[in-house]
Structure formats: C-alpha cells, structure tokens
Amino acid sequence: MQLKEELTLIQRGNRPISEYLHTVKSLADEIALIDHPISNDDLTLYVLYGLGPEFHEIAAPIRAREKSLVFEELHDMLVGHESYLRRMKAAANFTSHRFANKDTAFSVSQQNRGSNRGNGSLCQSGQHRPSNGSFRDPSEIIIRATLIQTGASSQNVNIMINWVTQQRSARNSNPLQ
C-alpha cells in the first residue's frame, strides 16, 4: 500500500526527466513483484500527474491517445520533449543575451519611434546597425543560436556566419540568381 501511495504522489520537481522516470519505473516494478502489476495506462497517468507545468503541452495529447503507450515509448517522448524545452530555453537565453549586449542593443521604443539615438538603429533593409557602424542581420542571431545548441565551436559558428553573409552578398549583387 505504501509503494502505491508513493507512486501516486511522486513529483518530478527539478530532477531530469530520465531520473524521474527511473524512479517511477522502479516503484512500479516493486509493486509488480508483490503481485499487483500496474497497467500501462495507469503508469502513464502516474508519470503525467507528477511532471509539472512545463510538460502540460505534451501531457494533454498523451492522455487523449486511444492506444496505450508502453513505458519505453512514454520515456522516449518525454526525454525528447525535455530536450526540446532545453533547446528553446537556450535559444531564448542566447537571443536575450544578444539583445542585452551594449554594442547591439536597441530598445523597442527607439525602434518604434524610428530614433537613431542610443546604441543602435534599424536601417531600411531591416538590418540592425550598432553604433560601432557594423551591420547585423537579425537571422544571424537565429543561426548562431542553432549552431551553438548543436555544440558547434565559436570558430565554426563564425565560419558559418561568414559563409551565409557571403552567399547573401552574392545573391544581392546578382538578383538573377
């Protein structure tokens, strides 16, 4: 009875999803050893109830499935979602850090007013022009974030950005391409 209560009340908290799932599976296996196996549907519900709010996006479609998930499928889905959440957080952190940098920062109010005062402004092409005179294409931020998330080194990120910039320059100088 105590094991089943633990399974019912277990929460993920700040643990990685794989650690949380291991704990849930261990409890379910212990309960099964005393001749009270837990169905896939019940195990899925126990896992979903303890996940927390950041997993609500994936929990709803899992609950709505007509076909039961085996634990391994549930594990793979949740680990994938946790990885997705980490990538999104890293991209958001990278972007917010990028815009907070004093050399490239500009406020929304300056952008909306079309002001050229402050640390930077937008030129007609939509590129950001910091006060130091260099240009930054907004898509560069996305490219950098994606490459960094995949573990690319700073040198490789810069090589890729330079290549993309060269390709755009070539395309812009020859509009028939």
Could you tell me which residue, 86 or 145, shows the higher pLDDT?
A: 86
CA atoms within 13 A on the CB side of 40: 13
Within this chain, do residues 13 and 42 fall inside the same structural domain, yes or no?
A: yes
Span 89-99, average pLDDT: 71
Within this chain, do residues 72 and 109 fall inside the same structural domain, yes or no?
A: no
Q: What is the pTM of this model?
A: 0.54
Q: For residues 81 and 83, give the distance between their C-alpha atoms in angstroms, rounded to a whole number.
A: 5
Q: Which of 49, 84, 119 is the last residue of a domain?
A: 84
Q: For residues 68 and 130, give the distance between their C-alpha atoms in angstroms, rounded to a whole number.
A: 54
Res. 30: pLDDT tops 50: yes
Within this chain, do residues 71 and 139 fall inside the same structural domain, yes or no?
A: no
Res. 24: pLDDT tops 90: yes
